[in-house]
């Protein structure tokens, strides 16, 4: 597969997945449907990031903004549902979480109404026109230019990950979150180029997913503690905040310890420089 074909296939696959998940979300609005739509939008957004860095086209930037706004509109619902899903598994063992659970359930109802309205209001015609222009741009590009720039873009995305990784302060979880955001973009870019990487281990992409999830667990605990702080301002006078705060502080500590144990694995996911071999090439 040449790089031009790879990019065209990736664009069509991600755009097709986005449309399919949006259709399902409109027909069967549910937590799972919203999640799958967000993932499809995130993958399409990451592909646009890759194209933007390759082509330096302002039109791509505008298309990216459309998708980013869609994702931002669903972020709070996602965070709330993650907390509720986690809580449902432990509420019987930790009944002190029940007032917080009721607060989140009430919040979820409001967010679901807003999200359903947002999903139904999305217009595909303008976005579809932009996608067609991207398809034409890729087809018109010189294959030699594409070959030169594709891996450089992934190199650059990985360099940002490593720059942020070097600045991690374990006492400041926000520094880990910054790594996670850069890593997510790098991971989705690597998914695009993976079909043309020789000898890529079958579990390589899964390892990237697991590494990102470990950072996500820390962020979820951070979100929970922030939501608890918001709830404290509205809680009844009889509510004792200590048990719930202790629970999520422990979850945060466990998630942080889990990430610390394996955080050095980050150096195995891509080459350290353009003139260096890929990790899988070192093993062969």
Domains and CATH numbers, the chain: 3-279 (1.40.20.10)
Alpha-carbon distance 72 to 70, whole Å? 6
pLDDT at 272: 83
Alpha-carbon distance 113 to 209, whole Å? 31
Alpha-carbon distance 284 to 268, whole Å? 14
pLDDT at 258: 95
Alpha-carbon distance 126 to 123, whole Å? 7
pLDDT at 142: 76
pLDDT at 248: 94
Residue with tokens 């979150």: 177
Quick one: which of 30, 63, 35, 28 has its CA closest to 49?
Answer: 63
Cβ count near 119 (within 10 Å): 18
pLDDT, averaged per 10 consecutive residues of the chain (284 residues), comes to: 89 97 92 92 92 86 91 93 92 91 94 93 92 92 76 93 96 94 94 88 94 96 95 89 93 96 93 78 59
Quick one: which of 12, 60, 69, 42 has its CA closest to 212?
Answer: 42
Contacts of residue 233, Cβ cutoff 8 Å, sequence gap at least 6: none
Quick one: which of 266, 161, 168, 163 has its CA closest to 218?
Answer: 168
| Residues 154/59, Cβ–Cβ less than 8 Å | no
Backbone angles phi, psi at 145, to 5 degrees: -65, -40
Alpha-carbon distance 29 to 116, whole Å? 7
pTM over 0.85: yes
**Half-sphere exposure (CA, 13 Å, Cβ side) for 132?**
6
pLDDT at 280: 66
Q: Can you give 151-195 as a three-state secondary structure string?
A: HHHHHHHHHHHHHHHHCCECCEHHHHHHHHHHHHHHHHHHHHHHH
pLDDT at 238: 87
């Amino acid at each position: 597969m040449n790089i031009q074909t790879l990019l065209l296939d990736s664009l069509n696959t991600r755009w097709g997945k986005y449309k399919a998940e949006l259709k399902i979300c409109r027909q069967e609005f549910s937590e799972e449907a919203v999640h799958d739509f967000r993932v499809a939008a995130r993958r399409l957004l990451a592909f646009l990031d890759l194209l933007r860095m390759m082509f330096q086209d302002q039109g791509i930037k505008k298309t990216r903004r459309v998708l980013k706004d869609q994702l931002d509109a669903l972020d709070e619902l996602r965070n709330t549902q993650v907390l509720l899903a986690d809580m449902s598994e432990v509420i019987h063992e930790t009944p002190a979480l029940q007032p917080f659970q009721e607060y989140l359930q009430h919040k979820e109802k409001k967010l679901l109404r807003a999200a359903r309205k947002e999903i139904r209001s999305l217009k595909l015609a303008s976005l579809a026109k932009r996608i067609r222009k991207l398809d034409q741009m890729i087809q018109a590009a010189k294959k030699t230019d594409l070959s030169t720039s594709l891996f450089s873009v992934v190199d650059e995305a990985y360099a940002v990950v490593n720059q942020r990784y070097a600045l991690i302060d374990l006492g400041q979880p926000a520094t880990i979150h910054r790594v996670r955001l850069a890593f997510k973009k790098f991971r989705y870019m690597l998914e695009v180029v993976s079909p043309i990487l020789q000898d890529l281990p079958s579990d390589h992409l899964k390892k990237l997913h697991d590494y990102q999830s470990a950072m996500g667990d820390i962020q979820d605990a951070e979100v929970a503690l922030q939501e608890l702080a918001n709830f404290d301002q509205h809680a009844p006078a009889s509510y004792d905040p200590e048990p719930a705060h202790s629970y999520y502080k422990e979850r945060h500590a466990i998630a942080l310890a889990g990430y610390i144990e394996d955080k050095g694995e980050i150096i195995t996911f891509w080459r350290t420089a353009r003139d260096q071999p890929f990790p899988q090439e070192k093993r062969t």
